[in-house]
Amino acid sequence: MPENITHPDLRLLYGYWLGARHGQPMPRRVDIDPTELPGRVWEHLTLADVVLESGVMRFRYRLVGEQLVDALGRNPVGEYYDTVLPNEGGYRDYVTGVYRTVVETKKPYYTENTYTLAAQAVPMLTKRLTLPLSDDGVAVNMTLSSHYFEFPTASHSYMVEGISGFAELVRRELPG
């Protein structure tokens, strides 16, 4: 288990994903059963469809855990990342870039980034694990991800306020 995945629930999810592959490069969606994961992990999970439209890769929310719903101030199921995420400081481009890299490399990625909200002076930290899923074992058609936000306030709907600063701290391809 990579030591650079610093959150224990993200390590747990990565181990689950590895086991769900059943000898394939990546698991299929049907190989993933959230009930096999502890309930505390569910609120952090996101499933996204990979959609190609006129040669442009986009990501559509299929399932969104309560932590991200709280962060966004609404449930974005059925919407695209590029229309939901704020782009101040390049945040939207960064997040969609991570997902694009996962699709193109067919490898899981662990990332950490900070961003400062418009209403706060102290940066927030996001720890994110993004995992590819494939129905045919070749092309990535979905992603499974988990996000853990660490921030100095219990404020909900914090992305609605806007981002005033952003920085990537870690981006690592993980063994698949």
We report the CATH number of the domain holding residue 71 as 3.30.450.20
Contacts 24+ apart (CB under 8 A), 62-67: 62/142, 65/146, 65/147, 67/43, 67/147, 67/148, 67/149
The dihedrals phi and psi of 4, each to the nearest 5 degrees, come to: -75, -5
Sign of the four-CA dihedral 84, 118, 8, 106: positive
> Does some domain include residue 35?
yes
> What is the pLDDT at residue 39?
92
Query: Has residue 45 been placed in a domain?
Result: yes
In a domain, 2, yes or no: no
In a domain, 160, yes or no: yes
- Region of 149 (left: φ > 0; alpha: ψ -120 to 50; beta: rest) is beta
pLDDT tens-digit series, residues 42-93: 999 999 999 999 999 999 999 999 988 887 888 999 999 999 988 877 889 9
Between 149 and 78, the higher pLDDT residue: 78
> Which is nearest to 163 in space by CA: 95, 112, 117, 121?
117
Bridge partners for 52 per DSSP: 57
Q: From residue 61, give the alpha-carbon distance in Å to each of 30, 68, 149, 159.
A: 17, 11, 18, 17
Among 5-19, 82-96, 104-118, 143-157, the range scoring the smallest mean pLDDT is 143-157
Considering its fold, how many domains does the chain have in total?
1
Confidence of residue 165 (pLDDT cuts 50, 70, 90): low
Confidence of residue 114 (pLDDT cuts 50, 70, 90): confident
Query: Average pLDDT, stretch 34-43?
Result: 92
| Strands 56-64, 45-53: pairing kind | antiparallel
Report if residue 3 sits inside a domain: no
Query: What confidence score (pLDDT) does residue 119 get?
Result: 64
Domain of residue 72 covers 8-173
- Has residue 135 been placed in a domain? yes
pTM here is: 0.83
Q: What is the pLDDT of residue 156?
A: 45
Task: Say what the pLDDT of residue 98 is.
Answer: 96
- Kindly state whether residue 51 falls inside one of the protein's structural domains: yes
Q: Is residue 92 part of a domain?
A: yes
